[in-house]
Amino acid sequence: MKITDAGMHPYPAGDSTVARMALEAGELGFDSVVVIGDAVCQPSSIEVLQGAAIGATSIKEVLKRVRDPAVRRADVVYVDAGDAAFNRAVVSIKEVNVVRSIHAARRNAFDHVAARTAAEQGVAVDISMAPIIHFRGTKRQRVLQQYADILSLQRRYGFLLTISSDACSILGQRSVRDIRGLCALFGMTGAEVTEALSTIGQIIEPHQPVRVVE
């Protein structure tokens, strides 16, 4: 079981290099990380996987983007969450692995229909630590409620969850222990956190061998 940070944004999107963030992740208890964006994978002491994130306003655009060679080469394909109709449709696209930025969607935009389809198709929903870390007050409480709603649906329908730091520098990264504490704020158990942190391995294993950056 490999413990994976399901989303980081190194330079040029962020402030720290892939190598520096991978080194930090290893020290924080991770076995692998997913790098989202155009960062060049560099030699690292842990596994570095490539992620491709699709921000689209229509399913037609998603279908077009998943055929892009750069997206097809990625280990993990993410799509930013949208409204209820969008989310119901996107989880049925076979090339999509993870729905991300669920905290930025309207409450109940990921509903029981999307949850059931996601479980059937093996599509995960990402829980980003960034808004819990950086938001304050009412804004933070809304995110925690959004995550609690997702957790309730996950327990009922059994779709996959991933957990990402969404860090843009080493300052945004958190240890596995810290993540357990943050996830407890919306009711996630330690066992559920461990399972979610190992989901990336389940996602990529049926499709291709894990790439080790050496």
List average pLDDT for each run of 10 residues in the chain, which is 214 residues long.
95 91 96 87 80 96 96 96 98 97 94 98 98 96 97 98 97 97 98 97 68 40
Q: What's the confidence (pLDDT) of residue 212?
A: 40
Is it true that the peptide bond before 206 is cis, omega within 30 degrees of 0? no
Q: What's the confidence (pLDDT) of residue 40?
A: 67
Bridge partners of residue 164, in order along the sequence = 128
What is the three-state SS of 11-57? CCCCCCCHHHHHHHHHHCCCCEEEEECCCCCCCCCCEEEEEEEECCC
d(CA 68, CA 98): 17
Q: What's the confidence (pLDDT) of residue 208?
A: 47
Bridge partners of residue 72, in order along the sequence = none
CB environment 81-119: b (16+ within 10 A), e (fewer): bbebebbbbbbebebbbbbbbbbebeeebbeeebbbbbb
- The residues spanned by each domain of the chain are 4-204
The predicted-structure confidence for 136-184, as pLDDT tens digits, reads as follows 999 999 999 999 999 999 999 999 999 999 999 999 999 999 999 999 9
Residue matched to tokens 């389809």: 117
Other C-beta atoms within 10 Å of 150: how many? 22
d(CA 40, CA 8): 13
Q: What's the confidence (pLDDT) of residue 210?
A: 39
Class of domain 4-204: alpha beta
d(CA 58, CA 98): 17
Q: What's the confidence (pLDDT) of residue 211?
A: 42
